[in-house]
Amino acid sequence: MIKEADGKTRLCGLIGYPVGHTLSPVIHNTLAEAMGKNLVYVPFSVEKDLAAAVRGAYALNILGMNVTVPYKKDVMEALVEVDEAAVRIGAVNTLVRMEGGYKGYNTDYLGLERAMKEENIQIAGRDVVVLGAGGAANAVVYLCAKAGAKQIYILNRTVKKAQGLAEQVAAYFPECPVTAMETRDYDKLPDRAMTCIQATSIGLFPNVDAAVIEDPAFYRRIDQAVDIIYNPGETKFMRLVKEQGGRVINGLKMLLYQGVTAFELWNDVSVDADTCYKVQKLLEQELQK
């Protein structure tokens, strides 16, 4: 964080409710200091009247905002422009100041893309299983289709939600086959090597002894995987992947890079790998507290 605010200090922040547990101030205040930006990032607890909060942010000359639960969808109505990927995902998590208001982006999917590239977890040309069909899964499935998955399987407890998501993606990426299935039908998946992205909330702290699918037979086909959960650092899903010989990462780098990408959009900079690594280490320390 910058040591002292002065007349030129810019403000960025997070709109959500609740916001008390966010790690975003760690990300952005560390980046501001490392990149020599006179900028402070603070959480804003917005209980109601989202549109007024966005208007107020603009009037106060706030440079950029992140948006979290429960406003990632509703915030779109308060923006002057929304990036095409964010429209297709149906969620905005980053607001970038422009003439007359803010433009909305989705850096969650961009963060996941960066994390997977860095860890060499492949989507292009592969069969990909996405577990979950909620808000987070929307960004995951969009990325899989955009990045050229050979075939996407969306598995969800509520199959209707998986079907809705599959139809949404098929409309934008007609060349990418998407199949919706009920999670318990996992044994009907073809028996070949697959990439899997865990996008349900199962396994999240404090329910650390749960995984969306417990059967080791499912994990035999998973050779590369991501759990978008980062707390705990190793979920039961991750252990199950490893036990069958697969390579798996948690969601910490997705969190890191959604933040880095937002910071880059706000400040028109490119954050170097050493700085990213420094922020990652700080996030790990925070999570151990």
Other CB atoms within 10 Å distance of the CB of residue 11: 17
Q: What is the DSSP string of 57-89?
A: HHHTT--EEEE-TT-TTGGGGG-SEE-HHHHHH
- How many residues form the binding site for ligand ATR (CB under 6 A)? 14
**Which residue has the CB atom at the shortest distance from ligand ATR?**
134
User: Would you count residue 158 as binding ligand ATR (CB under 6 A)?
Assistant: yes
Binding of ligand ATR by 157 (CB under 6 A): yes
Number of H-type helices and E-type strands within the chain: 10, 12
CB of 240 to ligand ATR, least distance (A): 15
User: Of the candidates 205, 197, 213, 258, which has an alpha carbon nearest to the alpha carbon of residue 234?
Assistant: 205
| Nearer residue to ligand ATR within complex by CB, 45 or 158 | 158
In the complex, least distance from residue 165 CB atom to ligand ATR, rounded to whole angstroms: 9
Applying CB under 6 A, the span of 5-13, 76-84, 128-136, 167-175 interacting with ligand ATR comes to: 128-136
- Under the binding rule (CB under 6 A), the answer on residue 261 touching ligand ATR is no
The total of other beta-carbon atoms located within 10 Å of residue 122's CB is 16
Applying the rule CB under 6 A, the residues between 203 and 242 that interact with ligand ATR are 212
Catalytic, 3? Answer no
How many other C-beta atoms are found inside a 10 Å radius of the C-beta of residue 39?
24
What span, in angstroms and rounded, lies between the C-alpha atoms of 184 and 226?
A: 20
Tell the smallest beta-carbon distance from residue 283 to ligand ATR (Å). Answer: 19
Residues classed as catalytic: 72
Give the interface with ligand ATR as residue ranges (CB under 6 A).
Answer: 132-137, 156-158, 161, 200-202, 212
